[in-house]
C-alpha cells in the first residue's frame, strides 16, 4: 500500500537530477581527455620541427613512419618506429609470460584446500608490495643495483663468486632488456596472482570437491576445471596487461646511463615522449605514433573481447532464437492448415 505522498513522489520526474549528477564527469572528460584525443589526431596531420608545426601535411607522417619512403631522415624515422614497436613487444612478452606462469602457479597453490600453507595473507601482502612502490624509484634502484662497474652491488657479488669481468647490465642489448623484464615481473606478478586467486575462489567449490571424490589428481583438476573456468579472467588480465605493456614508460625511460637513452629498451611511450620533448619538437611524428598506438590498442582490445564472448552463451541464445522461430513457423503453419 502506498501513501499519497509516495504516489506523489513517484509521479515527479527526477530525470534532470540524473543528468546533473553525471554532467561534471562528462564535461571534464570532454575537455581533458576526448578533446586532447582529437587534438592528437589533428597534430598527427601537421609537420615536424619547430618551424613546421603549423604546416598541414596530410598523412605524410603516417607514410613516413610506416613505409619509410623518402630521404635519409625519413628512413631513419621509419626504422626508429619499427624498432620501438619491436622493443615494446619483446619487453611485454618477456614480462607477461613469466608473470602469468608464476601467478597462475601461486594462485592454484594458495587456493588448493589439500595443501597446508600457513600465513597465506602474509604471503599475499608481501608479494603485492612491489606493485605499490613508485615505478620511477624501482627503475632508479635497479639501475644502481645493476650498475655496470665492478662497484655495482650485483656485479661485485658476481665477481666475488668468481666472475672475471663485470657484466654490462645497462647498455648491453639483452642484459638491459632482461633487467627491465625482471623489474616488471617483480612489480606485477603479485597483482596478477591476487586477481587470479579471486577468480579461482569464485569457482564453485562443489566442482573441486566432486573432482576430489572422483579421484582426479591435481593436474587433472587444473586442466579440466581451473583453466577452462578461469578463461574469462585470464583474458581480462591479458587485456589490462597488454594495454599496460603498451604504455610501459617509467622503467624503460629511466633505466639508462646518464642522459643517453638505450636504443634496445626504448618503448613506444618513450619514443612519443622523446619526440614530443626534445628539440626540435617532432609533434607530428609523436602524434602519429600515438594514433598508431591507439589503433593497435583498439584492435587488441576487441580481439580479446571477441575471444572473451562466452561461446556457450552465444550458442544458447541461438538455440532459443531458433526455437522461437520454429514455434512461430509452427503456429503459422497450423493457422495455414486451418
Partner 1 sequence: MSKNGNIKDNYAAKVRMKSICVMVFLILLTILCLLPIYILFVNTTRTSQNIINDGLSFIPHGNFINNIKETIHLDEIGTISFKAAVGYRNSAIITVAASFLTVFFSAMTAYGLVVYEFKAKTPAYTAILLVMMVPVQVTSVGFVQFMNKINLTDTYWPLIIPAAAAPAIVFYMRQYMKSSFPLDIVEAARIDGTGEFRTFLTIGLPMMKPALGVQAIFSVITNWNNFYTPSMILLSRKEKQLTMPMMVQSILSNDKLSDMGVRYTAIFLSIVPVIVVYCVLSRAIVDGVAEGGVKE
Which is closer to partner 1, CB of 225 or CB of 268? 268
Widest pairwise Cα distance in the chain: 97
Site string for partner 1, 279-298 (x = CB under 8 A): ----x--xx--xx-xx--x-
126 binds partner 1 (CB under 8 A): yes
* 114 near partner 1, judged by CB under 8 A: yes
Peptide bond into 263 cis (omega under 30): no
Q: Does 121 bind partner 1 (CB under 8 A)?
A: yes
Which grid coordinates belong to 87? 622493443
Q: Which of residues 45-104 bind partner 1 (CB under 8 A)?
A: none
Residue 26 or 174 having the CB closest to partner 1: 26
Burial track 176-197 (b if 16+ CB lie within 10 A, e otherwise):
bbebbbebbbbbbbbbbbbbbb
Name residue, grid cell 566442482.
Answer: 207
Q: Among 10-18, 63-71, 76-84, 311-319, which window interacts with partner 1 (CB under 8 A)?
A: 10-18
Which of 319, 303, 87 is closest to 180 using CA atoms? 87
Cβ-based nearer residue to partner 1, 136 or 307: 136
When asked if residue 11 is in the footprint of partner 1 (CB under 8 A), the reply is: no
CA–CA distance, 262 with 264 (Å, rounded to integer):
5
Q: Is the peptide bond before 116 cis (omega within 30 degrees of 0)?
A: no
**Ramachandran region, residue 290 (left: φ > 0; alpha: ψ -120 to 50; beta: rest):** alpha
CB of 331 vs partner 1, minimal distance in Å: 33
- Answer yes or no whether residue 170 interacts with partner 1 by CB under 8 A: no
Taking the complex as a whole, the smallest distance from the CB of residue 323 to partner 1 amounts, in Å, to 28
Total residues in contact with partner 1, by rule CB under 8 A: 104
* Burial group, residue 146, by CB count within 10 angstroms (0-12, 13-18, 19+): buried
CB-nearer residue toward partner 1: 207 or 254: 254
Q: Of the ranges 60-68, 76-84, 119-127, 320-328, which one interacts with partner 1 (CB under 8 A)?
A: 119-127
The C-alpha cell at 280 is 626540435
What is the per-residue binding string for partner 1 in 300-329, x denoting contact by CB under 8 A? Answer: -x----------------------------
Q: Which is nearer to partner 1, 129 or 327 (CB)?
A: 129
Assigned C-alpha cell, 237: 588480465
Q: Can you tell me which of 59, 125, 163, 210 binds partner 1, judged by CB under 8 A? A: 125
Q: How far apart are CA 267 and CA 273, in angstroms?
A: 10
One character per residue 228-257, x = contact with partner 1 (rule: CB under 8 A): ----xx--x--xx--x--xx-xx---x---
**DSSP structure string for 219-230:** HHHIIIIIHHHH
To partner 1, the closest distance from the beta carbon of 68 in angstroms equals 21
* Residue with smaller CB distance to partner 1, 71 or 121: 121
Complex with partner 1: residue 37 or 315, whichever CB lies closer:
37
Nearer to partner 1, 29 or 56 (CB): 29
How far apart CA 238 and CA 221 sit, in angstroms, is 23
116 binds partner 1 per the rule CB under 8 A: yes
Q: Are 117 and 110 in contact (CB under 8 A)?
A: yes
Q: Which of residues 58, 258, 336, 337 is near partner 1 by CB under 8 A?
A: 258
Grid coordinates representing 149 are: 662497474
- Whole-angstrom Cα distance, residue 333 to residue 160? 89
Amino acid at each position: 500500500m502506498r501513501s499519497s505522498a509516495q504516489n506523489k513522489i513517484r509521479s515527479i520526474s527526477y530525470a534532470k537530477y540524473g543528468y546533473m549528477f553525471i554532467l561534471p564527469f562528462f564535461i571534464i572528460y570532454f575537455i581533458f581527455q576526448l578533446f586532447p584525443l582529437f587534438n592528437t589526431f589533428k597534430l598527427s596531420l601537421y609537420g615536424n620541427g619547430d618551424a613546421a608545426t603549423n604546416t598541414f601535411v596530410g598523412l605524410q607522417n603516417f607514410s613516413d613512419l610506416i613505409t619509410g619512403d623518402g630521404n635519409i631522415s625519413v628512413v631513419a624515422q621509419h626504422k626508429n618506429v619499427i624498432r620501438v614497436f619491436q622493443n615494446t613487444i619483446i619487453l611485454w612478452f618477456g614480462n607477461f609470460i613469466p608473470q602469468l606462469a608464476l601467478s597462475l602457479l601461486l594462485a592454484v597453490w594458495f587456493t588448493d584446500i589439500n595443501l597446508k600453507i600457513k600465513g597465506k595473507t602474509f604471503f599475499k601482502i608481501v608479494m603485492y608490495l612491489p606493485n605499490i612502490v613508485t615505478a620511477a624509484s624501482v627503475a632508479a634502484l635497479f639501475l644502481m643495483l645493476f650498475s655496470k662497474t665492478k662497484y655495482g652491488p650485483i656485479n661485485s657479488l658476481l665477481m666475488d663468486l668468481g666472475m672475471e669481468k663485470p657484466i654490462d647490465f645497462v647498455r648491453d642489448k639483452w642484459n638491459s632488456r632482461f633487467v627491465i623484464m625482471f623489474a616488471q615481473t617483480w612489480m606485477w606478478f603479485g597483482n596478477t596472482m591476487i586477481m587470479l586467486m579471486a577468480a579461482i575462489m569464485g569457482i564453485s567449490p562443489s566442482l573441486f570437491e566432486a573432482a576430489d571424490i572422483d579421484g582426479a589428481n591435481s593436474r587433472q583438476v587444473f586442466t579440466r576445471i581451473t583453466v577452462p573456468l578461469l578463461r574469462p579472467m585470464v583474458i581480462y588480465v591479458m587485456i589490462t596487461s597488454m594495454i599496460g605493456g603498451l604504455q610501459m614508460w617509467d622503467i624503460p625511460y629511466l633505466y639508462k646511463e646518464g642522459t643517453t637513452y638505450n636504443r634496445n629498451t626504448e618503448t613506444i611511450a618513450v619514443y612519443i615522449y622523446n619526440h614530443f620533448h626534445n628539440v626540435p619538437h617532432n609533434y607530428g611524428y609523436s602524434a602519429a605514433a600515438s594514433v598508431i598506438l591507439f589503433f593497435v590498442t583498439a584492435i587488441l582490445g576487441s580481439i580479446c573481447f571477441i575471444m572473451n564472448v562466452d561461446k556457450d552463451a552465444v550458442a544458447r541464445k541461438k538455440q532459443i532464437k531458433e526455437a522461437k522461430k520454429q514455434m512461430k513457423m509452427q503456429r503459422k503453419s497450423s493457422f495455414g492448415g486451418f
